[in-house]
Amino acid sequence: MKYTKYLLLLLLVASCASKRVVQHRVYEVDQRPQVPVVVEPVATVEAETEVVTEEPVRSARPLVSQVHRFPLGTWQAAKQQALDSLCLSPLFETTQLGLYVYDLTEGEPLYAVNAAQRMRPASCQKVVTAVTALHYLRGDYQLRTEFRMRGKVTAGVLQGDLVVVGGMDPLVTPDELLQAAATIRQQQGIESIAGTVVYDLSMREDTPLGWGWCWDDDYGPLSALLVDGKDTFEQYWTEAMAKAGISLSPYPSPEGKGRNSLSPRGDVGGKVVYSIRHGLDELLLPMMKESNNIYAECLFYQTAAIGGKKGGGHKEAASRTESLLKSIGLDAESYKVADGSGLSLYNYVSAEMLVAMLGYAWRNEPIREHLLPSLPIAGYDGTLQKRMIGTVAEGNVRAKTGTVTGIVSLAGYLTATNGHVLAFAIINQGVPSSAIGRTFQDKVCIELCR
């Protein structure tokens, strides 16, 4: 009798267990190489005849319009199949890929893998910087370094100060400073300065490096006054004045001689007696073709100084990009803009975001006519000069490259054989060598051009 009670109790427990709800957390991997997509917990009810399962809800869906599979026999289907094959590489078992291709002619996405995932852009950040600057500054914008005179010239002596107002122009050369000094000496009749040579650095924030730069990055310091992209302005200007016959009075004003960083307001006053100017295209071309980081930072800070703002920093410059992103329909809070060059560890973009910027530039002719000529051309010039040579992509692909340790990126335009213009962005993250990432990217471009 005692054993019968235990047996009944065990049967009752087993019956209750058969009706309980079981929680599952399943990890699925898409057929294309992606970070595993988490499927939300699904409740299943065990029954005698069937198992009822709710439809899995995928998280981390791309923000882009869903790419649909095109009918077999179409050129779009052929491209999708070709890219599918490339993306099955074992490379993506241990590295990350962000890839997005958009047909600008048809106005629809063609292919996407992890298009919305945030990744570091490397020097493809320069695409963001260039499009933002061209949007706000326009193509006829000029970078200026001004020389101002405070006081009057009496018997060859300037009874006051000579002020050099920095415009963060890295294109200024020693020869241009020699010309400036000679012209000021001739036109203003200045042989000596009784006051001070003031160096107005108030255009940008007083920090030597970009936000998030590594301590061992061999760039900078950044300054509002540069010569050949380096912080050597005071040295070259002192030499230029000496060669032009302009001396400093042995009895300087109480402010003293040498560098004087003014207040963030930078209200220097005085009369402009000379200026060195360079057009935006002069900066943009080497910045994009050669991937010059200092040039990119200088352009980045030009946007922070819009409207004559003084002391602008990376936050002010980044806010310009964020406003543009919002205007073209993206969630600016999904990204992080830390600098203009892509050196910063804090930059985060997505393949989708880069293509959105390229698409905006393409649709706006005043921007496109300056951006397109600045991009490296595959097999011809810039950082793409040695890539895709002897393939259908040579001379076709125009794109910005990017490389930092573990990151290789490429973003730009190409024309398919049917005449459709495609905008694309490829970010390879976590690659053991840059060559591996570049090889994959070249294959993608060749397939799209084929």
**CATH number (domain holding residue 233):** 3.50.80.20
Omega before 254 within 30 of 0, i.e. cis: no
Check whether residue 160 and residue 278 sit in a common domain.
yes
Check whether residue 105 and residue 208 sit in a common domain.
no
Residue 368 is predicted with a pLDDT of 97
pLDDT, one tens digit for every residue, the chain (450 residues): 444 444 444 444 444 444 333 333 232 333 333 333 232 333 333 333 333 333 332 223 334 556 888 889 899 999 999 999 999 999 999 999 999 999 999 999 999 999 999 999 999 999 999 999 999 999 899 999 999 999 999 999 999 999 999 999 999 999 999 999 999 999 999 999 999 999 999 998 888 777 667 766 667 789 999 999 999 999 999 999 999 999 987 654 444 444 444 544 556 788 999 999 999 999 999 999 999 999 999 999 999 998 778 888 889 999 999 999 999 999 999 999 999 999 999 999 999 999 999 999 999 999 999 999 999 999 999 999 999 999 999 999 999 999 999 999 999 999 999 999 999 999 999 999 999 999 999 999 999 999
Q: Does a structural domain hold residue 317? A: no
> Among 348, 373, 403, which residue's Cα sits nearest to residue 130?
373
Check whether residue 246 and residue 114 sit in a common domain.
no
Domain that holds residue 46: 19-60
Final residue belonging to a domain, choices 283, 305, 324: 283
Residue 39 is predicted with a pLDDT of 29
The first and second tokens of residue 396, run together, are: 């076709």
Residue 272 is predicted with a pLDDT of 96
Final residue belonging to a domain, choices 250, 283, 316: 283
Tokens 């573990």 locate to 406
Q: Does a structural domain hold residue 313? A: no
Check whether residue 158 and residue 98 sit in a common domain.
no
Amino acid sitting at position 220: G
Check whether residue 82 and residue 56 sit in a common domain.
no
Q: Does a structural domain hold residue 101? A: yes
Final residue belonging to a domain, choices 253, 283, 313: 283
Q: Does a structural domain hold residue 128? A: no
Q: Count of domains in the chain?
A: 3
Check whether residue 147 and residue 276 sit in a common domain.
yes
Q: Does a structural domain hold residue 293? A: no
Q: Does a structural domain hold residue 134? A: no
Residue 13 is predicted with a pLDDT of 41
Q: Does a structural domain hold residue 114? A: yes
What secondary structure, in 3-state letters, does the chain show?
A: CHHHHHHHHHHHHHHHHCCCEEEEEEEECCCCCCCCEEEEEEEEEECCCCEEECCCCECCCCCCCCCCCCCCCCHHHHHHHHHHHHCCCHHHHCCEEEEEEEECCCCEEEEEECCCCCECCHHHHHHHHHHHHHHHHCCCCEEEEEEEEEEEEECCEEEEEEEEECCCCCCCCHHHHHHHHHHHHHHHCCCEECCCEEEECCCECCCCCCCCCCCCCCCCCCCCCCECCECCHHHHHHHHHHHHCCEECCCCCCCCCCCCCCCCCCCCCCEEEEEEEEEHHHHHHHHHHCCCHHHHHHHHHHHHCHHHCCCECHHHHHHHHHHHHHHCCCCHHHCECCCCCCCCCCCEECHHHHHHHHHHHHHCHHHHHHHHHHCCECCCCHHHCCCCCCCCCCCCCEEEEEEECCEEEEEEEEECCCCCEEEEEEEEECCCCHHHHHHHHHHHHHHHHC
Check whether residue 204 and residue 279 sit in a common domain.
yes
Check whether residue 241 and residue 218 sit in a common domain.
yes
Check whether residue 169 and residue 207 sit in a common domain.
yes
Contact (CB, 8 A) for 299 and 371: no
Contact (CB, 8 A) for 311 and 122: no
CATH label of the domain that carries residue 404? 3.40.710.10
Check whether residue 361 and residue 442 sit in a common domain.
yes
Residue 310 is predicted with a pLDDT of 82
Q: Does a structural domain hold residue 328? A: no
Amino acid sitting at position 367: I
Query: For residues 194 and 213, what is the distance between their CA atoms, to the nearest angstrom?
Result: 41
Strand pairing report for 407-415 and 421-429 = antiparallel
CA dihedral sign of residues 286, 289, 293, 297: positive
Check whether residue 55 and residue 90 sit in a common domain.
no
Check whether residue 279 and residue 238 sit in a common domain.
yes
